[in-house]
């Protein structure tokens, strides 16, 4: 008698995934059914990987230190899929970029996926849309449990033919074999304000190895400063854009991909901001998924705005911004005396 099993056969899982991916790709950015379809995809990944994203095992909870910055624990990395607008936009960006690359070349598009997490979603979601002759992935992940889960997930979806190699390594220092053969670097190793996670040092390490014209997703992340008369909670009245504080791609080029431990950004005399009239400063994390697709403020955990309230009595002082890469990765803001 055949053994009774509760799990769905791989081909059926794949079919479910393909249907949901096609729905997601066809959807407008503000479609009301977006959360439902992403949740469906999450359930399919849970079934394929046997990773719920909510297991209480210690090794699934722990963040992993890297040479620079921290890597998310397995559970958090799995839960990123549920960041609806992020997942939607990154999928659209990946799909469009691969189509564009395929229009220019006959050989497969080689993707370096730095930080694939336990579901390797931007491989498995893409694999249902292309053949292995069109797209090949190298999966790079620092967390051994996540990499093992990513391997199991790709087997459950029968996507092994799309995987060129697996590496359990720190993408901020890894020497990528045959680096010049890649066309696309994907690394969603981000948090709002480029805090703690490794997007900037990963790009610094990998972009100096990859061909100059490599497509990068997200294409760029910038930090933009604005001022407002009221806090965002009260509507951010009369908000006015000020300077761009940080531009990842420009800074990497300027420093030739060798970043100092502290990157000095702007120093702004407070008086020039009219703090009595505009007591609120806002820092936006602008995630340019591709040149044409950008996450809207507050639509994802990656694009949450930071608000600073200025003290008008400090108006003789200057506000100094810097991006620190060691010992912890963070944007810092200090008041300097006159
Ligand atoms: C935000 S999660 C994203 C997971 C998945 N790619 C997604 O988009 O849903 C980032 C993943 O990158 C991995 N990661 C972070 N820093 C890394 C590094 N320096 N080297 C390799 N992997 C890294 C983390 O362990 C985590 O699995």
Kindly report, residue by residue over 29-58, the tens digit of the pLDDT. 999 999 999 999 999 999 999 888 787 787
Number of domains, the chain: 1
Choose the weakest-confidence range: 6-15, 31-40, 96-105.
Answer: 6-15
Q: Is residue 135 one of the residues assigned to a domain?
A: yes
User: Beta strand pairing status for 240-247 and 306-309?
Assistant: unpaired
Q: Is residue 169 one of the residues assigned to a domain?
A: yes
Q: Is the CB of 275 under 6 A from ligand 1?
A: no
Distance 29 CA to ligand 1 centre (A): 24
- Percent of the chain residues topping a pLDDT of 90: 80
Distance 147 CA to ligand 1 centre (A): 10
199 touches 190 (CB < 8 A): yes
* Closest alpha carbon to 171 in 153, 184, 189: 189
Q: Is the CB of 49 under 6 A from ligand 1?
A: no
Q: Is residue 4 one of the residues assigned to a domain?
A: no
Instruction: Give how far Cα 5 sits from Cα of 2, 8, 9, 155, 324, Å.
Output: 9, 8, 9, 18, 52
93 touches 123 (CB < 8 A): no
Identify the residue whose tokens are 């046997």: 50
Confidence of residue 9 (pLDDT cuts 50, 70, 90): low
Q: Does 7 have pLDDT greater than 70?
A: no
Write the residue with the smallest CA distance to atom 2 of ligand 1.
77
Q: Is residue 241 one of the residues assigned to a domain?
A: yes
| Runs of H (alpha helix) within 190-316 | 199-207, 248-254
User: Beta strand pairing status for 64-65 and 70-71?
Assistant: antiparallel
Token pair of 118, please?
A: 């336990």
52 touches 46 (CB < 8 A): yes
User: Beta strand pairing status for 135-141 and 109-114?
Assistant: parallel
Distance 303 CA to ligand 1 centre (A): 17
Q: Is residue 3 one of the residues assigned to a domain?
A: no
Average pLDDT over residues 6-25: 85
Q: Is the CB of 77 under 6 A from ligand 1?
A: yes
91 touches 123 (CB < 8 A): no
Distance 78 CA to ligand 1 centre (A): 10
Q: Is residue 134 one of the residues assigned to a domain?
A: yes
Q: In what order do the strands lie in the sheet with 109-114?
A: 163-168, 135-141, 109-114, 184-186, 215-217
d(CA 166, CA 146): 11
Distance 234 CA to ligand 1 centre (A): 35
Q: Is the CB of 170 under 6 A from ligand 1?
A: yes
Write the residue with the smallest CA distance to atom 13 of ligand 1.
115
Q: Closest ligand 1 atom to the C-alpha of 77?
A: 2
Q: Is residue 2 one of the residues assigned to a domain?
A: no
Q: Is the CB of 93 under 6 A from ligand 1?
A: no
Q: Does 5 have pLDDT greater than 60?
A: no
Q: Is the CB of 71 under 6 A from ligand 1?
A: yes
Instruction: Give how far Cα 78 sits from Cα of 23, 45, 54, 90, 275, Å.
Output: 21, 9, 9, 15, 42
302-312 pLDDT, tens per residue? 999 999 998 77
Distance 115 CA to ligand 1 centre (A): 3
Token pair of 206, please?
A: 């990998």
The reported pLDDT for the residue numbered 108 is 98
Distance 98 CA to ligand 1 centre (A): 21
Q: Closest ligand 1 atom to the C-alpha of 73?
A: 25
d(CA 184, CA 167): 17
Q: Could you tell me the residue range of the domain that residue 190 belongs to?
A: 10-336
Q: Is the CB of 140 under 6 A from ligand 1?
A: yes
Q: Is residue 5 one of the residues assigned to a domain?
A: no
Q: Closest ligand 1 atom to the C-alpha of 80?
A: 9
Distance 106 CA to ligand 1 centre (A): 30
Average pLDDT over residues 198-216: 97
Instruction: Give me the count of residues in the chain.
Output: 338
Diameter of the chain measured on Cα atoms: 84
Token pair of 175, please?
A: 């020497």
Q: What is the CATH number of the domain that holds 145?
A: 3.40.50.150
d(CA 243, CA 246): 9
Q: Which residues 6+ apart lie within 8 Å of 320 measured at CB?
A: 264, 266, 267, 268, 333, 334, 335, 336
35 touches 84 (CB < 8 A): yes
| β-sheet bridge partners, residue 166 | 139
Residue 47, Ramachandran bin (φ over 0: left; ψ between -120 and 50: alpha; else beta): alpha
């Amino acid at each position: 008698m055949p053994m009774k099993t509760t799990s769905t056969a791989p081909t059926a899982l794949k079919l479910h995934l393909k249907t949901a991916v096609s729905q997601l790709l066809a959807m407008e950015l503000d479609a009301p059914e977006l959360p439902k379809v992403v949740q469906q995809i999450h359930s399919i990944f849970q079934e394929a990987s046997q990773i719920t994203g909510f297991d209480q095992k210690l090794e699934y909870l722990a963040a992993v230190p890297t040479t620079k910055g921290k890597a998310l624990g397995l559970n958090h990395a799995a839960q990123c899929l549920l960041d609806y607008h992020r997942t939607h936009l990154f999928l659209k960006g990946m799909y469009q970029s691969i189509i564009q690359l395929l229009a220019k070349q006959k050989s497969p598009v080689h993707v370096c996926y730095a930080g694939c997490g336990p579901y390797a979603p931007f491989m498995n979601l893409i694999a249902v849309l292309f053949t292995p002759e069109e797209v090949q992935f190298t999966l790079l992940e620092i967390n051994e449990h996540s990499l093992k889960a990513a391997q199991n997930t790709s087997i459950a979806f029968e996507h092994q033919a799309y995987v060129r190699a697996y590496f359990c390594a720190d993408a901020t220092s890894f020497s990528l074999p045959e680096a010049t053969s890649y066309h696309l670097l994907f690394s969603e190793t981000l948090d709002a304000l480029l805090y703690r996670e490794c997007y900037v040092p990963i790009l610094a390490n990998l972009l100096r190895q990859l061909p100059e014209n490599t497509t990068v997703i997200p294409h760029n992340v910038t930090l933009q400063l604005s001022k407002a008369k009221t806090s965002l909670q009260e509507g951010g009245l009369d908000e006015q854009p000020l300077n761009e504080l940080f531009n990842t791609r420009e800074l990497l080029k300027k420093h030739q991909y060798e970043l100092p431990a502290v990157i000095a950004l702007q120093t702004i005399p407070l008086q020039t901001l009219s703090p009595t009239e505009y007591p609120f400063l806002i820092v936006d994390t602008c995630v340019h998924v591709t040149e044409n697709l950008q996450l809207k403020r507050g639509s994802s955990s990656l694009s949450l705005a930071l608000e600073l309230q200025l003290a008008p009595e400090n108006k003789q002082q200057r506000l100094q911004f810097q991006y620190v890469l060691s010992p912890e990765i963070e944007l810092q803001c200090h008041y300097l005396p006159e």
